Amino acid sequence: MTTDCNILFYSDKLASFEYSDSHPFKPSRARHLMDLLNRYSLIFETNQKVLEPEPLDEELLYAVHDKKYISLLKQCNTGEFDISMLEAGIGTPDNPVVLGMYDFALAASGATHQGAMMLLNNEASFAFNPLGGFHHAGRNFAEGFCFINDIAIAIAECLKRGARVAYIDIDAHHGNGVQDAFYGSDQVLTISLHESGKSLYPWGGFENEEGIKDGTGYNVNIPLLAESDDEVYLYAFRELVPPLIEAFKPDIIFLEAGGDVHRDDPLTHLNLTSNGYRETLKMIKNFGKPVCATGGGGYDVYQTANLWATVWSVFCGVEPEDHFAGSVGGMMFGPETTSGSLDEPPFAIFGEEKNQCIDAINQVIMAVKGKIFPLHGIKV
């Protein structure tokens, strides 16, 4: 029986790493998360542990990445650019050459792997690595701020150990790197809910991308029209995800808990609030499987930390308590301090815009139920 232990991976050193002052990807989100967990008394239970990430064993990289590519990443670690890096997507504005980049990526990836192994070994029931979630990295290239695909590496190791894996990606961006890694496997069920590739990078992740060979029907994309709100998102999730998880019966669930679905995110166009995000997390927890969660995207650093505090709260089963509410001056943190709560008011779109979002997701739901559900023996 799995022990009731919740693991959070955190490192001040990793949270202080920067791609550049102007780069939108900010590992400092993890530090803001820790501030919130302390403020809301979410990190003091006896069944909670905070662990320092351990660097990934380099040999594990090669289950997912080419050796030539990793060699280029090692060069990148010195902070010196070489023209040959561009072919691998390194040295671009999105994926800059930064001193210590390989060390950072190795440590961030190590935490995801360590968390997954603790789950498989029944040492924990939930593991959260807010510094991980690099779901865009490919076998021989970097993209979308991602250099090493920590999720795919950890999943590959789980498969070696005989586990069936479900991967649920609720980041606003399509999890293309993880999709590509297991597109032909029937041992990994990948489900990605994301803003449509018609309006957002990586410009794919459509419902007709269903897997190939043995993996046909094990890759499920649920693209949402830009501006979709909590109601549309939860409708899509409820209609498709629970039946697929129930039919697949995974041993472990990986969750990409990107915070860029929030309506305040500067790089995306969805309209979720903490309310829809929390309800989604509750449904995933209710699947009753060990969960290895990673951070992923989120470019409003305070709202992202807020959502990640909700991740920790939901999976640990601990309600936030703000002991600073009403105090003189309070604790100036970010948007959440205006209410003294991790909660926020509901928000919904209306009229023709709402109708368009519902019509679009209904087409996706019909496509998935029509083609993928029968492959899993799910009755419509």
Say which residues have a Cβ less than 8 Å from residue 23's Cβ, sequence separation at least 6.
Answer: 96, 145
Q: Which domain holds residue 55?
A: 6-376
Residue 35 has a CB neighbour count (10 Å cut-off) of 16
**Of 137, 192, 177, 155, which is closest to residue 292 (Cα–Cα)?**
155
Taking a C-beta distance cutoff of 8 angstroms, is the pair 206, 236 a contact?
A: no
Q: How many domains does the chain have?
A: 1
Residues 6+ positions from 99 with CB-CB distance below 8 Å: 77, 78, 79
- Chain segment 68-94, per-residue pLDDT in tens: 999 999 999 999 999 999 999 999 999
Number of neighbouring beta carbons within 10 Å of residue 162 = 9
The residues near 96 (Cβ < 8 Å, ≥ 6 apart) are 19, 20, 23
What does pTM read for this prediction?
Answer: 0.96
CA distance to 12, 129, 216, 325, 340, per residue, from 273 (Å): 28, 22, 33, 22, 16
Q: Determine the pLDDT at residue 327.
A: 54
pLDDT tens digits, one per residue of 302-329: 999 999 999 999 999 999 988 666 554 4
What is the crossing angle of helices 67-76 and 101-120, to 10°? Answer: 130
Check which CATH number belongs to the domain holding 238 and give it. 3.40.800.20
Tokens of 229: 């709100």
pLDDT at 303 (0 to 100) = 95
pLDDT at residue 334, rounded to an integer: 55
Residue 339: what pLDDT? 46
Q: Is the peptide bond before 250 cis (omega within 30 degrees of 0)?
A: no
Residues of 236-273 as b/e, b for ≥16 C-beta within 10 angstroms? bbebbbebbbeebebebbbbbbbbbbbbbbeebbbbbb
Structural domain includes residue 335: yes
Active-site option among 32, 135, 136, 262: 136
222 domain-assigned: yes
What is the structure's pLDDT at 35?
95
Distance set, CA 319 to CA 33, 283, 310, 378 (Å) = 15, 17, 9, 35
pLDDT at site 234? 98
The token pair that represents 96 in the structure block: 């800059």
**Residue 169 covered by a domain:** yes
- CA 117, 119, 124, 130 dihedral sign is positive
136 counts as catalytic: yes
Query: Does some domain include residue 1?
Result: no
Task: Identify the pLDDT of residue 322.
Answer: 80
Instruction: State residue 135's pLDDT score.
Output: 98
Instruction: Evaluate whether 230 touches 347 at the Cβ level (below 8 Å).
Output: yes
- Averages of pLDDT over runs of 10 residues in the chain (380 residues) are 86 97 97 96 96 97 97 94 95 96 98 98 97 98 98 98 98 98 98 98 98 98 98 98 98 98 98 98 98 98 96 96 61 49 92 98 98 95
